[in-house]
Amino acid sequence: MRRVLVVGGGASGLMAAIQAARSGAKVTLLEKNRQVGKKILVTGNGRCNLTNTDQDLSHYRGGEPGFAGTVFQGFGLKETLEFFDGLGIFVKDRNGYLYPYSDQASSVAEVLRMEAERLGVRLALGNRIEELSVTDRGFAARTEGWTYEGDACVLAAGSAAAPDTGSDGSGYALAAAFGHRVIKPLPALVQLRCRERFFERLAGLRMEASVKILAETQAPAEGKKNAERKELAEDRGEVQFTKSGISGIPVFQVSRYAVRALDEGRQVEARLNLFPRLGERELKEYFASRLEAGGYKKGEQFLTGLFPGKMSLCLLERAGIAKNKRAEDWTGEELDRLLGQIRDFRTEIVSGGSFEQAQVCSGGVDTREICPETMESRLVPGLFFAGEVVDIDGACGGYNLQWAWSSGYTAGRSAAKGGTE
């Protein structure tokens, strides 16, 4: 019987262990925590957004955009839903975002654990793998006090995001020790910090907005600024203002681009459209009619009903309009500046949140060194990868777990069968 070691008992490792066991292998799952699936418990605010009905590949990012698509051909959304249905998860659809009907992430972790146990997977908990190596007989996974052996090994140790759930980044080092190239992991799906001080006053606001991220086309020479900027990403939704910058789902969605550009030494800015429901001309016309009806009001009062007071004051200040000046007395230039601020509210991004705050990481094991049909290493036969340790990150909305399920399925099955050997 083929012995498969799975390093990491998160979403992808549990899926890999189940699939390897269903394919007839003797599986040992090595997990440093005293429980499996700890990160699953915090997903989707404790409800676990386990996948999404919209599986357009644009929701998946990484060095090789087509890589995830090949993996999904083997095990995609339909197969994922059938799999969870078989385990007893009745899925609830919220605008395409899929959750367990129980609304409890623990249900998902629990059914995976139950299935692994039913299949006889040995759950070796409290085992942090310090070293993985190739031996004459396959693989050796060394912990502080023990060495586990297997004919094949699935590395599913996660990323460096949310380390309190167990994923401390050690998976990258274990992969690199085999000679694998690891694309620098950086926080993704994370808030962004901005340079301007006025955010302290905006803290707590939530507003519908679109967010564009622009970065210098290349890192400038020291002490210089590079004026040329390129748009990297855009999203729209409810933006949250914090005392140090911007957050919320649309910010999470674009954050990986901002964080990676900053890491390359490029200046990055966000441009917010605080009234994306109307185009430029329509907004101007709307303001003209609003002025006719309420031009007698002072600036902040005039904007009441459109924006929260703190934001109105900030917009007026940035447009250079005295807050006590009546709207009908604004000059044409002042009005244009105000509309400009509303539609193109610019802020300089200075950093992203930390790994502790991030939901996932961008970067990871370079997919060019992995075969997408099997998830087997192209460098080390018998070594397989699954989940976030690989250079694939998904958008917010169930895509990271879908990647964990699909890559875990493929790696587990292939490891049990012997991959491309």
Ligand X SMILES: Cc1cc2nc3c(=O)[nH]c(=O)nc-3n(C[C@H](O)[C@H](O)[C@H](O)COP(=O)(O)OP(=O)(O)OC[C@H]3O[C@@H](n4cnc5c(N)ncnc54)[C@H](O)[C@@H]3O)c2cc1C
Closest listed residue to residue 349, CA positions, set 194, 218, 215, 239? 194
Q: Does 13 bind ligand X (CB under 6 A)?
A: yes
Closer to ligand X by CB, 45 or 324: give it.
Answer: 45
Q: Does 11 bind ligand X (CB under 6 A)?
A: yes
Stretches 2-10, 175-183, 265-273, 366-374: which one binds ligand X (CB under 6 A)? Answer: 2-10
Total residues contacting ligand X by CB under 6 A comes to: 40
Residue type, 69: G
Find the shortest distance in angstroms from Cβ 47 to ligand X.
7
Q: What is the Cα–Cα distance from 307 to 309, expressed in whole angstroms?
A: 6
* Binding-residue pattern over the window 361 to 400 for ligand X, x denoting contact by CB under 6 A: --------------------------xx---------xxx
Which strands sit side by side in the sheet containing 91-94, from one edge to the other?
51-52, 97-100, 91-94
Phi-psi region of 297 (alpha: psi -120 to 50; beta: other; left: phi over 0): beta
Exposed, middle or buried by CB within 10 Å (0-12, 13-18, 19+), for 279? Answer: exposed
Residue type, 146: W
Q: What is the DSSP string of 253-271?
A: HHHHHHHHHHHTT--EEEE
Find the shortest distance in angstroms from Cβ 327 to ligand X.
44
Find the shortest distance in angstroms from Cβ 163 to ligand X.
9
Find the shortest distance in angstroms from Cβ 403 to ligand X.
7
Q: Does 49 bind ligand X (CB under 6 A)?
A: yes
Q: Does 42 bind ligand X (CB under 6 A)?
A: yes
Q: Does 142 bind ligand X (CB under 6 A)?
A: no
* Binding-residue pattern over the window 346 to 365 for ligand X, x denoting contact by CB under 6 A: -------------xx-----
Quick one: which of 62, 100, 150, 171 contacts ligand X (CB under 6 A)? Answer: 171
Q: Does 62 bind ligand X (CB under 6 A)?
A: no
Quick one: which of 8, 299, 363, 412 contacts ligand X (CB under 6 A)? Answer: 8
The residues pairing with 51 across neighbouring beta strands, listed in sequence order, are 98
Q: Does residue 375 contact residue 414 with C-beta atoms inside 8 Å?
A: yes
Q: What is the Cα–Cα distance from 151 to 204, expressed in whole angstroms?
A: 54
Quick one: which of 6, 18, 29, 32 contacts ligand X (CB under 6 A)? Answer: 32
Q: Does residue 13 contact residue 167 with C-beta atoms inside 8 Å?
A: no
Q: Does 59 bind ligand X (CB under 6 A)?
A: no
Q: Does residue 360 contact residue 161 with C-beta atoms inside 8 Å?
A: yes
Quick one: which of 30, 160, 233, 254 contacts ligand X (CB under 6 A)? Answer: 30
Altogether, the residues listed in the chain come to a count of: 421
Strands 245-247 and 26-31: unpaired
Site for ligand X, rule CB under 6 A: 7-13, 30-33, 38-39, 42-44, 48-49, 128-129, 156-158, 161-162, 165-168, 170-171, 359-360, 387-388, 398-401, 404
